[in-house]
A and B are shown apart, each in its own frame.
Chain A
Amino acid sequence: EAQVTQNPRYLITVTGKKLTVTCSQNMNHEYMSWYRQDPGLGLRQIYYSMNVEVTDKGDVPEGYKVSRKEKRNFPLILESPSPNQTSLYFCASRREDEQYFGPGTRLTVT
């Protein structure tokens, strides 16, 4: 089954404790991206990757890092999470113009 998976699905953590949210797709897509979704603000792109070892900033990259060492994986790293990073995060991969989203990761930073 073609899909994008994310882990964990839910995470509660404390300020400053490094965390990684994993994302994996099995569709051999070159393009992958990360979004956050906040009430009243809609989906905003954090980072995207055009291919292995090629990443670039989206609209709201501050406080996040990404890496793309393999085509299928695109982890999102929060080196020092802060409460304003509490949000719903979606990973997506893209074929042509259609984006396939993962199920989301609900992150709470206290």
Chain B
Amino acid sequence: RKEVEQDPGPFNVPEGATVAFNCTYSNSASQSFFWYRQDCRKEPKLLMSVYSSGNEDGRFTAQLNRASQYISLLIRDSKLSDSATYLCVVKVGGSYIPTFGRGTSLIVHP
């Protein structure tokens, strides 16, 4: 089983739709969780950290479920500019090596 798993998609949604991605992790010692966004052939950029209590940034909401070992990203009112690959990143406490998921591709169409 891969350490961090994501559905590669693509998720193909119309503008204005709500879409959610999940990311499961296998190491119960994981303590830090993030979502990064990567546009085609560009560098990844931090979208948001995922806190135990969940967090929201505008149209984006991230949640952590430790019992089931997954994190989620919800995007409301999708925009064309949200089209990208979303990378889940997990880090075990005390480790300097984060583990990246393979990414979930989102395509928002008019």
Seen from chain A, the residues whose Cβ lies within 8 Å of a Cβ on chain B are 31, 35, 40-45, 48, 50, 56, 58-59, 88, 90, 97-99, 101-104
- Kindly state the interface size class of chain B when it binds its partner: 10 to 19
Query: CB-nearest residue of chain A relative to B4?
Result: A42
Of the residues A31, A41, A102, contact of B43 by C-beta under 8 Å:
A102
Instruction: Write the nearest CB–CB distance from B31 to chain A, whole angstroms.
Output: 10
Of the residues A41, A45, A97, A104, contact of B102 by C-beta under 8 Å:
A41
A101 to B87, CA, bound (A): 14
Instruction: Chain B residues near A44: list those with CB within 8 A.
Output: 100
**Main secondary structure on A side of the interface with B:** strand
Question: Do residues A97 and B101 form an inter-chain contact, with CB atoms below 8 A?
Answer: no
A101 to B46, CA, bound (A): 9
Question: Do residues B97 and A45 form an inter-chain contact, with CB atoms below 8 A?
Answer: yes
Instruction: Chain B residues near A48: list those with CB within 8 A.
Output: 96-97
* Interface flag for B9 (CB, 8 Å): no
Instruction: Chain A residues near B44: list those with CB within 8 A.
Output: 43, 90, 99, 101
A58 to B97, CA, bound (A): 6
Known A103-B42, A104-B41: A97·B97 in contact at CB below 8 Å: no
Question: Do residues A59 and B43 form an inter-chain contact, with CB atoms below 8 A?
Answer: no
Instruction: Chain A residues near B103: list those with CB within 8 A.
Output: 42
Of the residues B32, B42, B97, contact of A104 by C-beta under 8 Å:
B42
